[in-house]
């Protein structure tokens, strides 16, 4: 089942006392009430829906639980509205919409919202583009001003220079996310074969770079004028607002924006393949991959829910058929099934990565997958198949209550695609209504004896592994040379106002934010408990931190903690892996166990009504692990294959090589998952001994956020965990030294890489909460710690070298680094390094500017409202309190530091910590191309290997 369905946010029904007629009489001119949600039983998101005379749809959701507001503008346009030869325009405009408008200066959008203490982003998919921000509620008018300005006053600010820079940024994004990533081009290759030539889903959302290269600035302006009118948009406002206060503001800023051309719904034409199409691709990967895709229905089709449940049965976890037939018996490292749906079409996809030790090629894997489909026909659908999906729907719906952004996103999406904002109840109902016969029917309709696309991705030079010879080639088009679209071809719309839009609205007083009230207890076995009651949702979230991790290991046993954590996620003495997964799924609960440097983290998520049963399963996992030989063998092989697969990822190579340089001679230099040499030598006895020696409760920290009262939670925790006793040995952590030579470029070869990964840095401060580490992070904020930092504006926005560049202090209690990093175009590697060094040196020598200091203070101190909104956010906040033995008042101490830190203090910290002569430079890229170029920088260049 699709995760998007489970992540939809909802709210419990709230009785609305105002009636439509009363609201109607008080509406501003040009605004009409369309509908408001009716009081009803069950779960839904209360809303009021309006429409402006220019066609803009407005939805308001009132939620006064936190002093926040989330604003979303969704345009019903994505890559599916593009034309052949003009792909990527919708995604391109996602970038352009952040580049300033008529009354908002260049790069000001990010600065204004960051300074307001908010967060923001935009996303594009095939069917819609949305822009959103979460800010303290006093900033809401400013957000409406910003969004209206780029809806109605953008085009005059779209200059040729901005167009060219953002075109380069999009190329960098494609290089980083697609061209330089293992399996990165799989999706677009499958789409070419799955959909007819010219179908709106047959090209990738990010587009083809040849199309963008042909385009000129007038082409993208024309695309904006066609699709970005208010009548093709939904504005959704949710949070601590009142509708009657929002309506005049919305009418003021959006009401005068002229309508755009009318938009009609795109046709939903069923896709039918004339034959099974085999395609293949060589890639820089370690493991081959088989990917089989069937066309099915479309989003919200009557068969979608049953197809989602079918995908769960076939490949949705430890109880699925593909897991049993491929992963559990070690024929594959990974296998799964998904059924993603879009507005016009869905696809049913099965994939597997064979385990090299199995000796299976992709043809063998295909036969096993097809045999699994036949097995499903014989097995049928069980009661548990349906029961666990219904539990997931309920749990996912309730957990969606936890953020106002989730609720707003759901309202906006449902209105955009269905014309009905609150559909969560309908969605739950349609999944609950699915029967066993429905699942069998959709299998017989869409999968059995139907044609599919079969994609083989193989390591370079290993075409003998493909499932079957290619029998399909996409149509090749010649779209000619550069575009000749002229400015006079555009039909520009202009708004007329009776106020001065150039004046930025002034925010009110920053809302007071209450720190979460906490309580403490001790389980009597050395586990400290810090809890908080949050009554917004009937849920419990729990984080248990056990003091053992990779820092406790020796080099020859590197990876033992991670392998132990993986085994704790498997079978126990009383439950098989499949049985444990099923029991948790039927409760709508999850338990995940992961290993870090200093702790093993156990995260538990449960509906509060199911907390007792969930804690029983937690105790079983912690105290009675199965440690079965077959589980160990499978996970060891998966770890080894994962390490080799990661070695094809340039970001992983850079991080691993950089850590080796920073922490040479210590376990901190080794990845948490271990190395090929260490993991291959680990035994099941090693894991058992590690668990017996170190996995003890004493010194543990347990953080819990629940709607239940303290006494209830504490009693449940003691009932299940107090009998667990023991204390592990303490250790002295050694984090080694930076033995790499400062002022040296270290080059790690990644042949033919289209991008280079750059790391520039040195050893630095250990972590503290209110001391020098925290103050140094404040100093770095405007240099490399935010989107509008000097480094990012230079390398991304001015030069177009990268999708993003940054610098930060990173540390734990034992060690830390200062690191500047980016993935840049290969041909910009040398100048990117030069720009990094110049920016850091200039900041160190000349210091922070007055306006930068003011920006940092506002951005950090006004963001408190966002820090404690959800239970998970509270868990992170409270975890710091336990780990560093703090009181909640540390937040006020930090705020005081931000408010009082002087320009002189900031500059002194820069002088102390930003000496580039103390830093090393690491580059992961194409050595044959870069070696000579890097030497021109004047640093010694040393080639290294992993």
- Name 498's Cβ contacts closer than 8 Å, sequence gap at least 6: none
Rounded Cα distance between 617 and 605, Å, is 12
Q: Tell me the average pLDDT of the chain.
A: 93
Strand partners, 277: 453
**What is the mean predicted confidence (pLDDT) over 689-702?**
97
For residue 863, pLDDT over 90 is answered with no
- State the pLDDT at residue 291: 98
- State the pLDDT at residue 180: 84
- Residue pair 538/609 in contact (Cβ under 8 Å)? The answer is yes
Cβ count near 619 (within 10 Å): 16
For residue 9, pLDDT over 70 is answered with no
For residue 917, pLDDT over 90 is answered with yes
Q: 132-142, pLDDT tens digit by residue?
A: 999 999 999 99
Q: 185-226, pLDDT tens digit by residue?
A: 999 999 999 999 999 999 999 999 999 999 999 998 999 999
Q: What is the DSSP letter of 177?
A: I
- Residue pair 805/822 in contact (Cβ under 8 Å)? The answer is yes
**What is the mean predicted confidence (pLDDT) over 111-140?**
95
Cβ count near 892 (within 10 Å): 12
Rounded Cα distance between 563 and 637, Å, is 11
Q: Where are the domains of the chain?
A: 277-401+419-465, 519-721, 745-944
For residue 390, pLDDT over 80 is answered with yes
> DSSP 3-state assignment of 809?
strand
Q: Hunting for tokens 């996602």 — which residue is that?
A: 94
- State the pLDDT at residue 1: 33
For residue 512, pLDDT over 80 is answered with no
Q: What is the DSSP letter of 787?
A: T
Rounded Cα distance between 291 and 463, Å, is 16
At the second CATH level, the architecture of 745-944 is 2-Layer Sandwich (3.30)
**Confidence band, pLDDT 50/70/90 cuts, at residue 25:** low
- State the pLDDT at residue 867: 82
Is the CA virtual torsion 832, 838, 841, 847 positive or negative? negative
Radius of gyration of the chain (CA): 28
For residue 585, pLDDT over 60 is answered with yes
Phi, psi of 866 (to 5 degrees): -90, -10
**What is the mean predicted confidence (pLDDT) over 304-325?**
95
Strand partners, 816: 811
Beta strand 528-533 with 701-706 is: parallel
At the second CATH level, the architecture of 277-401+419-465 is 2-Layer Sandwich (3.30)
- Token pair of 765, please? 């401060």
714, HSE (Cβ side, Cα atoms, 13 Å): 16
- Residue pair 909/734 in contact (Cβ under 8 Å)? The answer is no
Is the CA virtual torsion 626, 632, 634, 640 positive or negative? positive
Q: 770-828, pLDDT tens digit by residue?
A: 999 999 999 999 999 999 999 999 999 999 999 999 999 999 999 999 999 999 999 99
Rounded Cα distance between 808 and 922, Å, is 16
- Token pair of 49, please? 């829906």
**What is the mean predicted confidence (pLDDT) over 855-871?**
87
**Confidence band, pLDDT 50/70/90 cuts, at residue 175:** confident
Rounded Cα distance between 656 and 654, Å, is 6
- Token pair of 185, please? 């081009």
- State the pLDDT at residue 908: 98
- State the pLDDT at residue 4: 34
**What is the mean predicted confidence (pLDDT) over 403-410?**
92
- Name 882's Cβ contacts closer than 8 Å, sequence gap at least 6: 528, 530, 545, 701, 703
What is the maximal distance between C-alpha atoms in the chain? 79
* Domain 519-721: CATH class, spelled out: alpha beta
H-helix segments, 735-849: 772-784, 790-792, 829-846
Measured CA distances, 507 to 198, 238, 504, 786, 902 (Å) = 48, 18, 9, 22, 25
Q: Fold match between 277-401+419-465 and 745-944?
A: yes
pTM here is 0.91
Which region holds residue 3: left if phi is over 0, alpha if psi is between -120 and 50, else beta? alpha
**What is the mean predicted confidence (pLDDT) over 356-384?**
95
- Residue pair 247/30 in contact (Cβ under 8 Å)? The answer is no
Rounded Cα distance between 699 and 814, Å, is 17
**What is the mean predicted confidence (pLDDT) over 547-563?**
96
DSSP letter string, 366-431? HHHHHHHHHHHHHH---HHHHHHHHHHHHHHHHHGGG-HHHHHHHHHHHHHHHS-S--HHHHHHHH
For residue 844, pLDDT over 90 is answered with yes
For residue 75, pLDDT over 70 is answered with yes
């Amino acid at each position: 089942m699709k995760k998007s369905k489970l992540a939809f946010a909802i709210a419990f029904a709230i009785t609305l006392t105002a009636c439509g007629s009363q609201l109607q009489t008080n509406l501003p001119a040009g605004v009409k009430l369309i509908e408001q949600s009716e009081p009803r039983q069950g779960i839904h998101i209360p809303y009021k829906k309006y429409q402006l005379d220019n066609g803009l749809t407005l939805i308001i959701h009132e939620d006064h639980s936190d002093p926040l507001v989330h604003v979303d503008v969704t345009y019903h346009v994505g890559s599916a509205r593009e034309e052949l030869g003009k792909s990527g325009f919708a995604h391109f405009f996602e970038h352009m919409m952040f580049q300033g408008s008529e009354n908002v200066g260049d790069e000001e959008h990010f600065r204004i919202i960051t300074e307001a203490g908010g967060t923001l982003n935009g996303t594009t998919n095939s069917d819609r583009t949305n822009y959103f921000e979460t800010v303290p509620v006093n900033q809401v008018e400013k957000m409406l001003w910003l969004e209206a300005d780029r809806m109605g006053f953008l085009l005059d600010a779209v200059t040729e220079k901005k167009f060219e820079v953002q075109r380069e940024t999009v190329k960098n994004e494609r290089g980083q996310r697609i061209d330089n990533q293992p399996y990165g081009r799989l999706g677009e290759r499958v789409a070419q074969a799955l959909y007819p030539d010219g179908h709106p889903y047959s090209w990738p959302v990010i587009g083809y770079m040849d199309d963008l290269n042909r385009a000129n600035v007038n082409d993208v302006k024309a695309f904006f004028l066609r699709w970005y009118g208010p009548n093709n948009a939904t504005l959704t406002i949710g949070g601590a607002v009142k509708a009657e206060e929002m309506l005049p503001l919305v009418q003021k800023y959006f009401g005068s924006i002229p309508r755009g051309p009318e938009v009609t719904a795109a046709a939903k034409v069923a896709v039918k393949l004339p034959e099974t199409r085999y395609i293949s691709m060589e890639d820089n990967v370690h493991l081959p991959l088989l990917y089989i895709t069937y066309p099915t229905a479309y989003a919200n089709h009557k068969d979608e829910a049953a197809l989602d449940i079918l995908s769960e049965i076939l490949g949705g976890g430890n109880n699925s058929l593909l897991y049993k037939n491929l992963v559990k018996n070690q024929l594959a490292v990974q296998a799964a099934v998904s059924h993603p749906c879009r507005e016009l079409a869905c696809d049913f996809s099965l994939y597997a990565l064979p385990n090299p030790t199995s000796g299976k090629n992709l043809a063998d894997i295909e036969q096993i997958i097809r045999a699994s489909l036949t097995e499903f026909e014989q097995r049928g659908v069980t009661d548990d198949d349906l029961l666990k999906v219904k539990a997931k729907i309920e749990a996912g719906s309730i957990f969606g209550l936890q953020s106002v952004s989730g609720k707003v996103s759901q309202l906006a999406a449902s209105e955009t695609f269905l014309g009905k904002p609150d559909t969560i109840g309908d969605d739950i109902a349609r999944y609950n209504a699915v029967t066993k016969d429905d699942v069998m029917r959709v299998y017989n309709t869409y999968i059995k004896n139907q044609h599919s696309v079969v994609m083989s991705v193989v390591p370079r030079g290993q075409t003998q592994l493909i499932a079957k010879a290619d029998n399909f080639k996409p149509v090749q088009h010649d779209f000619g040379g550069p575009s000749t679209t002229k400015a006079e071809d555009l039909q520009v719309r202009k708004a007329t106002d009776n106020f001065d839009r150039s004046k930025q609205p002034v925010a009110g007083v920053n809302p007071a934010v209450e720190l979460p009230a906490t309580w403490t207890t001790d389980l009597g076995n050395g586990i400290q408990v810090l809890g908080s009651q949050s009554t917004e949702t009937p849920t419990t979230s729990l984080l248990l931190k056990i003091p053992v991790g990779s820092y406790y290991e020796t080099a020859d046993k590197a990876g033992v903690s991670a392998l132990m954590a993986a085994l704790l996620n498997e079978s126990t003495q009383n439950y098989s892996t499949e049985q444990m997964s099923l029991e948790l799924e039927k409760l709508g609960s999850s338990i995940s166990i992961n290993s870090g440097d200093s702790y093993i983290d156990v995260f538990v998520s449960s509906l509060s009504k199911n907390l007792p049963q969930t804690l029983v399963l937690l105790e079983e996992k912690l105290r009675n692990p199965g440690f079965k030989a077959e589980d160990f063998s499978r996970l060891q092989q998966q770890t080894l294959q994962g390490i080799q697969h990661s070695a094809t990822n340039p970001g992983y190579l850079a991080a691993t090589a950089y850590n080796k340089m920073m922490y040479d001679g210590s376990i901190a230099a080794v990845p948490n998952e271990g190395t090929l040499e260490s993991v291959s030598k680990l035994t099941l006895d090693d894991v058992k001994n590690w668990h017996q020696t170190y996995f003890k409760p004493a010194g543990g920290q347990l953080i819990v956020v629940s709607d239940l009262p303290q006494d209830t939670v504490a009693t449940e925790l003691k009932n299940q965990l107090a009998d667990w006793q023991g204390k592990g040995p303490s250790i002295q952590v050694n984090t080694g030294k930076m033995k790499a030579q400062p002022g040296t470029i270290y080059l790690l070869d990644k042949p033919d890489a289209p991008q280079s990964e750059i790391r520039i840095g040195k050893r630095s401060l250990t972590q503290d909460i209110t001391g020098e580490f925290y103050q140094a992070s404040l100093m770095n904020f405007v240099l490399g710690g935010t989107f509008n930092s000097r480094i990012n504006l230079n390398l991304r926005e001015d030069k177009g070298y990268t999708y993003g560049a940054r610098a930060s202090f990173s540390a734990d209690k034992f060690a830390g680094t200062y690191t500047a990093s980016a993935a840049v175009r290969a041909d910009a590697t040398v100048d990117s390094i030069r720009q990094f060094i110049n920016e850091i040196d200039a900041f160190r020598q000349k210091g922070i500017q007055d306006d930068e200091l003011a920006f940092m203070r506002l951005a950090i101190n006004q963001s408190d409202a966002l820090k404690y909104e959800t239970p998970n956010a509270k868990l992170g906040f409270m975890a710091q309190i336990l780990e560093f033995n703090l009181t909640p008042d540390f937040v006020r101490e930090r705020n005081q530091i931000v408010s009082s830190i002087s320009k002189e203090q900031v500059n002194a910290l820069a002088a102390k910590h930003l000496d580039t002569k103390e830093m090393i430079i690491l580059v992961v890229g194409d050595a044959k191309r870069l070696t000579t170029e890097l030497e021109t920088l004047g640093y010694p260049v040393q080639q290294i290997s992993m």
